[in-house]
């Protein structure tokens, strides 16, 4: 049993830069326009129809529904789940490359839904800007990598962590605040 559930949205952030989780928590009560970069603001705007339950009025569509998993110690929201098709969709503003963080968010949503009794037969990433759909499967190897990432998040020590990728660090919205 976990008492410190990991937010699903933070998994992708951790993979991008573990230190960013600390800065997210420091700034999460501030106006997002003060510290978010243009890509993050565009993503928030693109997500608005899900967050306000205006994507669909069909009864078979769950949108922006809160989910959690006691087994995995994760909590968050799904984007879209079609109960009839048993299909889970994670929407991104623009997908140029499929990163582990995108996959792990989708896996987390799937595992949460299944734990509360929904069956997920299909998973997709959807890129809003170019209307592309990327079918996703969950392999045993990816599930192991997902579990290792959850463990790494729980074991993370800000005082020991260093930036492993200078390019990511230079593109991080917190790079001016992060000690090199």
Q: What is the DSSP letter of 5?
A: P
Question: CB-side exposure of 155: number of CA atoms within 13 Å?
Answer: 6
176 Cα distance to chain centroid: 24
The Cα 65–Cα 19 span in angstroms is 28
Q: What is the pLDDT of residue 156?
A: 87
Q: What is the pLDDT of residue 121?
A: 97
> Is the separation of the CB atoms in 163 and 169 below 8 Å?
yes
Q: What is the pLDDT of residue 32?
A: 54
Q: What is the pLDDT of residue 164?
A: 64
> Average pLDDT in the 138-160 region?
91
Q: Which is more confidently placed, 11 or 17? A: 11
CATH for the 6-171 domain, from 3.40.920.10, 3.40.190.10, 3.90.320.10, 3.40.50.1000: 3.90.320.10
The Cα 115–Cα 100 span in angstroms is 22
Provide the β-strand partners of residue 77: 66
In 10 A of CB 99, how many CB atoms? 15
The Cα 98–Cα 125 span in angstroms is 9
Kindly report, residue by residue over 21-77, the tens digit of the pLDDT: 777 777 766 665 554 555 555 444 444 555 555 555 557 889 889 999 999 999 999
pLDDT band at 122 (very low <50, low <70, confident <90, very high): very high
pLDDT band at 108 (very low <50, low <70, confident <90, very high): very high
Q: What is the mean pLDDT of the chain?
A: 82
> Is the separation of the CB atoms in 91 and 80 below 8 Å?
yes
């Amino acid at each position: 049993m976990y008492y410190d559930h990991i937010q699903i949205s933070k998994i992708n952030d951790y993979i991008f830069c573990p230190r960013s989780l600390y800065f997210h928590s420091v700034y999460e009560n501030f106006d997002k326009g003060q510290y978010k970069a243009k890509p993050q603001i565009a993503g928030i705007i693109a997500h608005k129809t899900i967050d306000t339950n205006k994507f669909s009025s069909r009864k078979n569509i769950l949108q922006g529904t809160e989910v959690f998993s006691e087994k995995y110690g994760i909590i968050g929201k799904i984007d879209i789940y079609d109960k009839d098709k048993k299909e889970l969709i994670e929407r991104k503003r623009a997908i140029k490359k499929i990163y582990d963080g995108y996959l792990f968010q989708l896996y987390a949503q799937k595992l949460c839904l299944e734990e509360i009794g929904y069956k997920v037969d299909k998973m997709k990433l959807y890129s809003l800007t170019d209307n592309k759909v990327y079918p996703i499967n969950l392999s045993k190897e990816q599930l192991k990598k997902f579990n290792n990432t959850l463990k790494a998040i729980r074991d993370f020590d800000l005082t020991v962590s260093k930036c492993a990728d200078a390019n990511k660090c230079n593109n991080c919205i917190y790079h001016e605040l992060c000690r090199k």
